[in-house]
């Protein structure tokens, strides 16, 4: 009796798999989209007319589509079309994609800076990102950015960037901290390649000029520099994130490596590499635990112009604008996000966070990471005002309060989650 039952189950399973293998996609249909071109979505989809019906491919298509900035949510349906052929429907809920960007911050020493911009995330209905920003951080800065990840095919794209960035930067000599007017003017072009659903690569070159001009009375005859440089870069990303509107779950890793050539011995050739690890987990119906770990190293030259910085807008909320530099970095950001109120398109989210980091001094050793002067720990609280139908329409307010020696405190405002 048991043997006959096992045989029956085996026959049913074999029949099911045979049926699934013989099922064919009659047509892939896109519905619900208005601005996104149906031809674009069919171009990037794995499911094609005439191909075998594969539920795993459909599921991966939906995850990919939900990652597009023009899509707030996506789902699918499958309907028989006769003769073991099936129509697959991808149902699209679009985002509004012409988005202003606003970032500004202040600390308890009355420091204030802001950046405003405008970006279209669905140019020509093909998810091409185009826009730019203006920044006021004592000095004026601006940039123009173009990113078309599916320009040539579902796997190949292109990005181009221009930036003219000017800031007041502290440079840390042995006996003083000098203030420089720093300008970086750069031109960059990148090739974009997607290996598969989870893995992608960026690679390209950047030509830029760095200009350091001393501010104030240069009584110690500190150097002023104007240096032309070439930068070769590569970025490798593994992405297994899944989105449900403003909730995120899964793991993501981004490795960034750059090699920089220089025409001045004060700013010698160097390499820099870092990896960002992200982990997100849903907690119940309304909670989201978010984590980012950054680990990075560069050539360990004893230079005041070290590449890793401690900065309000990059890694530690409330710490201030570029308060220190290093040739190595370890930073962890962890926060719990909780939906306090949700009604139709609007979400109010609260968060509690801890930002902590440490840096290796230029020319120092790995023991610098444990020195108390290099460790910064800033817990804090924040709010998020979220529009579910506009891409990245998350206005954030965070207040970080330092608990390590010589700490500051301050607000950080911006568009989008901090990470």
Domain-wise residue ranges, the chain: 2-94, 98-415
Q: What backbone torsions phi and psi does residue 86 show, to the nearest 5 degrees?
A: -135, 140
pLDDT at residue 413, as a whole number: 85
pLDDT at residue 21, as a whole number: 57
pLDDT at residue 261, as a whole number: 92
| DSSP β-ladder status, 177-194 and 85-94 | unpaired
Torsion angle of alpha carbons 136, 138, 140, 142, nearest 10°? -50
Residue 108 contacts residue 90 (beta carbons within 8 Å): no
CB-count exposure of residue 344 (10 Å: 0-12, 13-18, 19+): exposed
The model's pLDDT over 244-257, given as tens digits with 9 standing for 90+, comes to: 889 999 999 999 99
pLDDT at residue 110, as a whole number: 59
As given in the structure block, the two tokens for residue 311 are 């900065």
pLDDT at residue 208, as a whole number: 95
As given in the structure block, the two tokens for residue 29 are 């249909």
Residues of the chain with pLDDT under 70: 1-21, 105-111, 174-175, 322
As given in the structure block, the two tokens for residue 244 are 């449900």
How far is Cα 362 from Cα 376, in angstroms, rounded to an integer?
Answer: 17
pTM of the model: 0.79
As given in the structure block, the two tokens for residue 220 are 């110690």
Q: What is the CATH number of domain 2-94?
A: 3.10.20.310
Fold classified for 98-415: Porin (2.40.160)
As given in the structure block, the two tokens for residue 158 are 């292109």
As given in the structure block, the two tokens for residue 338 are 């909780």
């Amino acid at each position: 009796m048991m043997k006959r039952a096992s045989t029956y189950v085996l026959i049913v399973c074999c029949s099911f798999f045979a049926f699934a293998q013989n099922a064919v996609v009659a047509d892939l249909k896109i519905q619900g989209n208005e601005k996104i071109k149906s031809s674009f979505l069919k171009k990037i989809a794995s499911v094609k007319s005439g191909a075998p019906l594969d539920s795993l491919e459909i599921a991966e298509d939906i995850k990919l589509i939900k990652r597009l900035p023009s899509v707030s949510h996506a789902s699918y349906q499958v309907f028989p079309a006769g003769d073991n052929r099936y129509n697959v429907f991808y149902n699209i809920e679009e985002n509004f994609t012409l988005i202003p960007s606003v970032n500004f911050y202040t600390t308890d020493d009355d420091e204030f800076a802001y950046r405003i911009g405008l970006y279209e995330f669905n140019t020509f209905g093909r998810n091409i990102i185009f826009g730019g920003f203006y920044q006021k951080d004592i000095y004026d800065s601006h940039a123009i950015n173009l990113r078309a990840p599916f320009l040539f095919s579902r796997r190949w794209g292109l990005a181009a960037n221009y930036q003219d960035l000017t800031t007041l930067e502290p440079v840390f000599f042995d006996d003083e901290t000098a203030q420089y007017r720093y300008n970086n003017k750069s031109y960059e072009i990148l090739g974009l390649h997607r290996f598969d659903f989870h893995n992608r690569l960026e690679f390209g070159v950047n030509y830029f000029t760095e200009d350091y001009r001393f501010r104030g009375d240069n009584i110690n005859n500190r150097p002023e520099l104007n240096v032309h440089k070439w930068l070769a870069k590569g970025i490798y990303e593994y992405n297994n994130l899944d989105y449900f509107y403003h909730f995120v779950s899964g793991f993501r890793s981004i490795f960034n490596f750059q090699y920089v050539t220089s025409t001045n011995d004060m700013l010698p050739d160097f390499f820099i590499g870092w990896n960002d690890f992200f982990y997100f987990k849903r907690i119940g119906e309304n909670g989201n635990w978010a984590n980012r770990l950054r680990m990075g190293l560069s050539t360990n030259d004893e230079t005041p112009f070290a590449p890793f910085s401690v900065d309000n807008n990059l890694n530690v909320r409330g710490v201030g604008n570029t308060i220190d530099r290093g040739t190595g970095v370890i930073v962890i950001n962890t926060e719990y996000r909780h939906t306090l109120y949700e009604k139709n398109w609007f979400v109010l989210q609260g968060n509690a966070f801890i930002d902590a980091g440490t840096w290796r001094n230029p020319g120092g050793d790995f023991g610098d990471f444990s020195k108390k002067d290099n460790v910064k720990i800033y817990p804090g609280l924040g709010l998020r005002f979220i529009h579910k139908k506009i891409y990245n329409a998350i206005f954030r307010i965070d207040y970080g309060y330092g608990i390590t020696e010589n700490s500051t405190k301050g607000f950080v405002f911006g568009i989008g989650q901090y990470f």
